[in-house]
Amino acid sequence: MIVFAILALFLVASALFTVTAKKPVYSVVGLLVNFIALAATYLTLQAEFLAVIQIVVYSGAILILFVFVIALLSSGTRAFSLGPDRMPRVAIPGILFAALACGAIAVTATRTSLAVQPTAGATGDANVFGSVANFGAALFTTNLLPFEVTAFILMVAVIGVVLIAGDEGPAGVPRRKKRRSGPREPIVKPEPLVR
Amino acid sequence: MLLALVWLLPLLGAVLLFAFGPQLRSWAGPIGSALVGVSFVATCTLWNDATVAGGMHLPLVTWLSGWSFGLSLDKLSLVWTLIITGVGFLIHVYSIGYMDGDRAFARFFAYMNFFIFAMLTLVLSDNVVGLLVGWGLVGLASYFLIGFWFERPSAVAAARKAFVMNVVGDVGIMFAIFLIVSRVGSIAFSDIFTRGVPAFGAHSPELFLVCLGLFIGAAAKSAQVPLHTWLPDAMEGPTPVSALIHAATMVTAGVYLVARFAPLWSSSPDAQELVGVIGALTAIAGAILGCVQWDIKRILAYSTMSQIGYMIMGVGVGAYDAGVMHFLTHAFFKAQLFLGSGIVIHALNNEQDVRKMGGLRKGTPFAFWAMLVGVLAICGVPGFSGFFSKDAVLYGTLSLGHPWLYAVGVITAGITAYYMFRLLFVTFFGRYRGDVDPSALGMRHPELAGTGMSESSGAHPEEEEPHHEHAPAWIMSVPVAVLMPFSVLIGWLDYGGESAPWARFFSGAFPTSAAAATPFSELLSSVLVFVVVVIGFAIAWMRYCAPPARANAVERLRGETIRTPAVLVNAYYFDAAYEMLLVRPAYALGRWFVRVIDPLVIDAGVREAGISSQWLGHLFRSFQTGLVRTYALTMALGVLCFVAYYAFAFGGAR
Amino acid sequence: MSVAPENYVALSAVLFFIGVVGVIVRRNPLIMLMSIELLFNSANLALVAFARAWVNNAGHIFAFLVITVAAAEAAIALAIVAVTFRRTPHVDVDEVAALKG
């Protein structure tokens, strides 16, 4: 319980910091803390593999991407500046309602008690819930198709990124295909037959 | 495989000539003809396979159970296939001469080949749906070819008329097919004939409906009363087309249909009675109209209608082999008559009015002899082919218990003799009248204005083109010469009663009906018919060829033209009736739609839909702020709604 | 497990709320994206908590898929941000309103 309380504290605090930070770089730091705390939370829930993945993918890959983009946008002559945040007028009731809803969930959830089934066994055994072996078996047998689809989605994302950011003209407009003018040059130049 | 070749070669020709017609130039005709000729030869080699019991069968595609498509060649379709490809080949060859110099030479042969393909589809199909497809395609080919000289408005109108009336028939067949499929569950002929009659029940009203639907199709295609009005107009097409499509093959498809569905007809006496009566009515109605026509091709058209009436009467009463026999002989002698008249028309620079002919016996002797043989055959002079087949049909009606139809048929035979010899005498005897003032012949008489009779079709526009060398004259004569012996001799196939080759060929192919007691023998019947024919010939002789008639031919022709009864000039007012009953109301309905429905319902509906979508667009536009955060807020509210629903509807439900 | 799963779900709801507020309130696209990552993570937390409660690793699989999709989403979104804001003086999503109807 104490572990959970500490982790929850970290999670909420770092999330708030992320959202309220002045500069994106600070947000990244907040987010890093949040991710690590979440990985620890996963461990308390016996989701070992997910905890590792959380660190590797989120902290390792996604956050680095963020840092890269921040660096990219901040580089050059102009400052990475931003005026004060203004909320849309409707945001206030919206946020209020959202807060109410989340409060409702939280209250309902804590009032409800879910019967937790016990788990037992040594970590690493494929029959034990939450072990990496167990997770892998489920991923590559019953859920193979979603897994493959995920791979496809990632590929599409890669192609999409290349299309969006890769081929960019001088004015920020994607370049059209270059048009050749004049006669085509022969690909293979004829060599003189006599040396 | 060879059967598929027979079927597809004309299609190949059509595609080839459509695609490369301009490049092939004058080779288009020989190529188109040769393909049909090869098809004919291939059919001949299939003779032994086709004449075994049940014929040969070539399955092509099976779509669903009971819905397999294929080709079949049995005795009945063999007769038709031989005529289609054989006579078709001769007419193709003839067309090389007739259409020589026409701008659209290749297009003509492409259409002709397409027609042959369509007709073969019709007769070779082993199922009703394939038959209907062929049925529609020959109608299409007929449309193309009637309207071949589409610069002429009259040709276009005639083509349209033929197509529309044929579609009426197609719908009839379609309904018959619906009924058949719903009861029998199969489209194959073999299934329909074995299971059809039990499924419907002999003498049942449903069976009568099926037969009626089929007969509406047959009547439309074969120009039977009351769907016959397109056939005379169809003579707007080139003469070879008239010979091939509107005399020899396509218009006899109705006969084929009735003969093909013989097992069904034989179980529905009411339908048989109807078909026999319609056939007889058409025979005599067409013959009477043939007596007052002056356009050589229209005379032949009405005679075709009349002769098909005979065939339909024959197959209708159950004398199937006699009806098919008449089809066979008719295909030869009528093709010959048309081709002979084509030679005359060609020689006279597209003059078709017999009043302006006369004395052509010396000018075009070959055409005269060809026409003479054809006329003798069609009149049923003993020894010529028409004699055997017509007598078979007539005696068949009598022996199967239809004395009234027999009487009508005999009278029609006399009228046929009259108008055919009238044609022959007016065209080939007397003095040439091409140089006589038309009004002296009674042409362009005010009473006749607009009836189609007074106008000769005129020269077609291609005539004005600078001509290159004409094809040799023999190319038009040879096919006619080939047809001639057949016109004379083919009838002998039916000589000898039960032991005749024809009767043995078809023995067992058709259901037999119980013969009624006949009042007199077949020989006496033949003598009676011949006497009537001689009377008809005698009247024609006295009116047109006897010396006093020849002396003042011009005056007599004028008098006859002017005194023609209006009811005959207007062809019994069928066209007028259709105009009054169908065309005018349709136009009125159309105008009402234009005035009321179109602006107030359709246009208004479209306009209102446009306006309302514009209005909705304006409404939704206001939501599209383009600001990401507003969208996010909206989504958050949506999520909120879901969460609230689940939280308050199920919260604490455990 | 000593802590009842409802506590995890409540924590997840709170984190979700923080993420929503971040997306709605902030104008910096990068911070908005990070808030979206928070949303993903809160959902994952709920999934993992329920998976534990019912001893069913379908929740783990689902969370795994969410992580993958989140990675794809982050890559695409950051590419868009990079392309969109490379030439503008201010990084402000409210200035990108070309889709206004």
pLDDT in tens, B73-132: 988 899 999 999 999 999 999 998 888 878 888 899 999 999 999 999 999 999 999 999
Q: Please give the residue of chain A at the shortest CA–CA distance from C65.
A: A150
pLDDT for the residue numbered B280: 93
| Average pLDDT of the residues in A40-59 | 89
Asked if A88 is an interface residue toward chain B (Cβ–Cβ < 8 A), one would say: yes
Q: Which tokens belong to B39? A: 């098809």
* pLDDT exceeds 80 at position A13: yes
Q: How far apart are the first and last CA of chain B?
A: 76
Q: Please give the residue of chain C at the shortest CA–CA distance from B625.
A: C100
CA atoms within 13 A on the CB side of A48: 14
| Average pLDDT of the residues in B309-337 | 90
Residues contacting B355, CB < 8 A, separation 6+? B294, B426, B433, B441, B442, B443, B557, B561
Report phi then psi at B192, rounded to 5: -65, -40
**Per-residue pLDDT tens digits for B494-507:** 887 777 888 888 87
In this structure, the answer to whether residues A5 and A45 fall within a common structural domain is yes
In this structure, the answer to whether residues A138 and A70 fall within a common structural domain is no
Asked if A106 is an interface residue toward chain B (Cβ–Cβ < 8 A), one would say: no
In this structure, the answer to whether residues A22 and A68 fall within a common structural domain is yes
In this structure, the answer to whether residues A30 and A57 fall within a common structural domain is yes
Q: How confident is the model at residue A79 (pLDDT cuts 50, 70, 90)?
A: very low
Calculate how close chain B gets to A95, using CA atoms only, in Å: 9
Among the residue ranges A48-62, A78-92, A126-140, the one predicted with the least confidence is A78-92
* pLDDT exceeds 90 at position B356: no
How many residue contacts between B and C have a Cβ separation below 8 Å? 41
* pLDDT exceeds 80 at position A192: no
| Average pLDDT of the residues in B239-250 | 87
CB contact residues (below 8 A), chain A span 118-157, against chain B: none
* pLDDT exceeds 50 at position B654: no
* pLDDT exceeds 90 at position B548: no
Q: How far apart are the first and last CA of chain C?
A: 53
Residue that finishes a domain, picked among A43, A75, A107: A75
* pLDDT exceeds 50 at position B175: yes
Residue at A121 is within a domain: yes
In this structure, the answer to whether residues A135 and A104 fall within a common structural domain is yes
Calculate how close chain C gets to A52, using CA atoms only, in Å: 11
User: What whole-number distance in Å separates Cα of residue A121 and Cα of residue A110?
Assistant: 29
- Check B648 against A101: CB less than 8 A apart: no
Residue at A101 is within a domain: yes
Residue at A105 is within a domain: yes
3-class SS of residue B350 = coil
**A158 contacts in chain C (CB < 8 Å):** 75
* pLDDT exceeds 60 at position A109: yes
- Check A90 against B629: CB less than 8 A apart: no
- Total domain count, chain A: 2
pLDDT for the residue numbered B503: 81
Residue at A153 is within a domain: yes
In this structure, the answer to whether residues A40 and A100 fall within a common structural domain is no
pLDDT for the residue numbered B173: 93
- Rounded to the nearest angstrom, the gap between the alpha carbon of residue B217 and the centroid of all alpha carbons in its chain is 11
User: What whole-number distance in Å separates Cα of residue B312 and Cα of residue B219?
Assistant: 9
Calculate how close chain C gets to A178, using CA atoms only, in Å: 21
Please, what is the average pLDDT of chain B?
85
- The answer to whether residues A126 and A133 touch, using CB atoms and an 8 Å cutoff, is yes
Q: Please give the residue of chain B at the shortest CA–CA distance from A106.
A: B647
- The answer to whether residues B120 and B84 touch, using CB atoms and an 8 Å cutoff, is yes
Residue at A175 is within a domain: no
Residue at A47 is within a domain: yes
- Check A101 against B640: CB less than 8 A apart: yes
Segments in chain C below pLDDT 70: 1-2, 87-90, 101
- The answer to whether residues B254 and B326 touch, using CB atoms and an 8 Å cutoff, is no
The shortest CB-CB distance from A4 to any of C3, C24, C73 is to C3
User: What whole-number distance in Å separates Cα of residue B134 and Cα of residue B145?
Assistant: 16
Calculate how close chain B gets to C22, using CA atoms only, in Å: 10
- Check C55 against A129: CB less than 8 A apart: yes
* pLDDT exceeds 70 at position B187: yes
Please, what is the average pLDDT of chain A?
75
Q: How confident is the model at residue A117 (pLDDT cuts 50, 70, 90)?
A: low
pLDDT for the residue numbered B457: 43
- Check A91 against B647: CB less than 8 A apart: no
* pLDDT exceeds 70 at position A114: no
**Per-residue pLDDT tens digits for A126-170:** 667 777 888 888 888 888 999 999 999 999 998 988 888 775 554
In this structure, the answer to whether residues A31 and A70 fall within a common structural domain is yes
The domain that contains A11 carries what CATH number?
Answer: 1.20.120.1200
In this structure, the answer to whether residues A64 and A104 fall within a common structural domain is no
In this structure, the answer to whether residues A59 and A98 fall within a common structural domain is no
* pLDDT exceeds 60 at position B428: yes
| Average pLDDT of the residues in B411-423 | 92
In this structure, the answer to whether residues A103 and A146 fall within a common structural domain is yes
- Check A101 against B633: CB less than 8 A apart: no
In this structure, the answer to whether residues A18 and A59 fall within a common structural domain is yes
**A88 contacts in chain B (CB < 8 Å):** 627, 629-630, 633
Residue at A181 is within a domain: no
Please, what is the average pLDDT of chain C?
84
- Rounded to the nearest angstrom, the gap between the alpha carbon of residue B49 and the centroid of all alpha carbons in its chain is 29
3-class SS of residue A56 = helix
In this structure, the answer to whether residues A69 and A111 fall within a common structural domain is no
3-class SS of residue B447 = helix
Domain of A10 in residue numbering reads as 1-75
Residues contacting B354, CB < 8 A, separation 6+? B294, B295, B296, B299, B423, B426, B427
How many residue contacts between A and C have a Cβ separation below 8 Å? 241
Asked if B622 is an interface residue toward chain C (Cβ–Cβ < 8 A), one would say: yes
Asked if B497 is an interface residue toward chain C (Cβ–Cβ < 8 A), one would say: no
* pLDDT exceeds 80 at position B374: yes
Residue at A28 is within a domain: yes
- Check A28 against C34: CB less than 8 A apart: yes
pTM over 0.80: no
What whole-number percentage of chain B has pLDDT above 70? 93
